[in-house]
């Protein structure tokens, strides 16, 4: 069965869904997107979409700032997405990409307000984004994370991602797996598509959103389970770059990256360079949770009856 997407108000085969080259969002990044995971549970043969409502709440917040008006509520966006995933029938992990964009076919820097808006959502089979066992080699980027005075960094605005992609490119070309961006004051902000946590002195520490980090849904999930399931103290505070070198553990969190261990930063080993015990504990619980295996957190999962047509 060919992948089904929702585009221009209806479900259609992926091959039929396209936009014109004059589309405003293509030229200026005037779009807001999300990354949502559908996690395949091989035991009960269902897909579990994780915290879909929170993703759509964040998308709609971005739409407000970008003056993208959609004819759908957050609940309707969730329903469209669930139906699409059902129609695709993937019996494997998937990544769901909704995008709300300025679809007006006009090439000019204009007042956003009256420009036409559209919404599309698609799903692709998607395994691990980064290695979940071998700890990542990270570097501090020479690019700084965008400030709210430039483009709001708390929202997933497409144009903002040029910043992440420049940092990722620089890191990979220099032989690293991932970049860590600092903000204008030199404090650690986050990865290119992940939030960052450091375990140090018995506490889990993550930069506050005020240091230009995206308020990540995985960040929130991991903070919750660290506190409530493992009794850890979770602190939001500035992290100077060099403090990372002294951490007992560092890991990255994100919908795509799940919970990815960091083994070194700027060629300084983090402890022995392997995944640490706190990271492993959190990662194990997180994987069970996102596959609908932890009854206490099942309310975060939308179960989709997949028809097993395209394993
Ligand atoms: N930071 C950035 C820049 C991101 O793109 C993402 C991915 N959405 C994250 C952090 C992690 O956010 P979440 O856990 O909500 O996926």
Q: What local confidence, expressed as pLDDT, does residue 127 receive? A: 83
Same topology, domains 4-125 and 136-290? Answer is no
Q: What local confidence, expressed as pLDDT, does residue 171 receive? A: 98
Eight-class DSSP state of 31: E
Q: How many residues does the chain have?
A: 311
Q: What local confidence, expressed as pLDDT, does residue 311 receive? A: 41
Instruction: Provide the whole-model pTM.
Output: 0.96
Task: Tell me the C-alpha to C-alpha distance, in Å, between residue 150 and each of 63, 145, 153.
Answer: 17, 10, 9
Residue list, ligand 1 pocket, CB within 6 Å? 35, 156, 164, 190, 193-195, 214, 216-219, 253-255
* Cβ-Cβ contacts under 8 Å for 2 (sequence gap 6 or more): 13, 14, 15
Alpha-carbon span 117 to 31, nearest angstrom: 9
Task: Please name the residue whose Cα sits nearest to atom 6 of ligand 1.
Answer: 193
CA of 144 to the centre of ligand 1 (A): 16
Looking at domain 136-290, its CATH architecture is Alpha-Beta Barrel (3.20)
Report the run of H or E that residue 52 belongs to, with start and end.
Answer: helix 52-66
Alpha-carbon span 150 to 3, nearest angstrom: 37
Report the run of H or E that residue 123 belongs to, with start and end.
Answer: strand 117-125
Please give the biggest Cα pair distance in the chain. 55
Instruction: Report the Cα 300 to chain-centroid distance in Å.
Output: 16
Q: What local confidence, expressed as pLDDT, does residue 308 receive? A: 55
CATH fold label, 4-125:
D-amino Acid Aminotransferase; Chain A, domain 1 (3.30.470)
A 10 A CB-CB count for 65 gives 14
For the chain, 311 residues long, the average pLDDT of each consecutive 10-residue run is 91 97 98 98 96 98 98 98 96 97 96 97 90 92 98 98 98 98 98 98 98 98 97 98 98 96 98 97 97 96 75 41
Structure tokens at 149: 């005075």
Q: What local confidence, expressed as pLDDT, does residue 1 receive? A: 67
Instruction: Name the residues annotated as catalytic.
Output: 156
For the chain, list the strands marked E by DSSP: 4-7, 10-13, 31-33, 36-41, 46-50, 94-102, 117-125, 136-144, 178-182, 188-191, 195-200, 203-206, 233-236, 249-254, 258-265, 268-269, 301-304
Q: What does the domain layout of the chain look like in residue ranges? A: 4-125, 136-290
b/e code 297-309 from CB counts within 10 Å (16+ = b): beebbbebebeee
CA of 124 to the centre of ligand 1 (A): 18
Alpha-carbon span 153 to 146, nearest angstrom: 6
Q: What local confidence, expressed as pLDDT, does residue 310 receive? A: 45
């Amino acid at each position: 069965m060919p992948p089904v997407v929702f585009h221009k108000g209806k479900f259609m085969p992926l091959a039929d869904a396209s936009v014109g080259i004059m589309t405003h969002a293509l030229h200026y990044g005037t779009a807001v997107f999300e990354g949502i995971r559908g996690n395949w549970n091989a035991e009960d043969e269902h897909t579990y979409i994780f915290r879909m409502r929170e993703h759509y709440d964040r998308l709609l917040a971005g739409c407000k700032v970008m003056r993208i008006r959609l004819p759908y509520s957050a609940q309707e966006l969730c329903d469209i997405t669930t139906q699409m995933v059902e129609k695709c029938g993937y019996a494997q992990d998937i990544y769901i990409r909704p995008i709300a964009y300025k679809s007006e076919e006009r090439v000019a820097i204009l007042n956003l307000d009256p420009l036409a808006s559209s919404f599309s959502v698609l799903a692709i089979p998607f395994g691990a984004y980064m290695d979940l066992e071998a700890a990542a080699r990270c570097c501090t980027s020479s690019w700084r994370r965008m400030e709210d005075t430039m483009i709001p960094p708390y929202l997933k605005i497409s144009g903002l991602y040029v910043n992440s992609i420049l940092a990722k490119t620089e890191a990979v070309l220099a032989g690293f797996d991932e970049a860590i961006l600092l903000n204008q004051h030199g404090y650690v902000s986050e990865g290119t598509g992940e939030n960052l946590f450091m375990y140090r002195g018995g506490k889990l520490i993550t930069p506050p959103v005020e240091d230009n980090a995206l308020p990540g849904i995985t960040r929130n999930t991991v903070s919750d389970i660290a506190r409530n399931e493992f009794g850890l103290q979770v602190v939001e505070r500035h992290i100077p770059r060099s403090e990372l070198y002294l951490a007992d553990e560092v890991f990255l969190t994100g919908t795509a990256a799940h919970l990815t261990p960091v083994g070194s930063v700027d060629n300084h080993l983090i402890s022995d360079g392997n995944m640490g015990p706190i990271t492993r504990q959190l990662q194990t619980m997180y994987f069970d949770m996102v596959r609908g295996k932890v009854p206490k957190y099942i309310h975060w999962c939308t179960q989709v009856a997949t028809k097993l047509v395209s394993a």
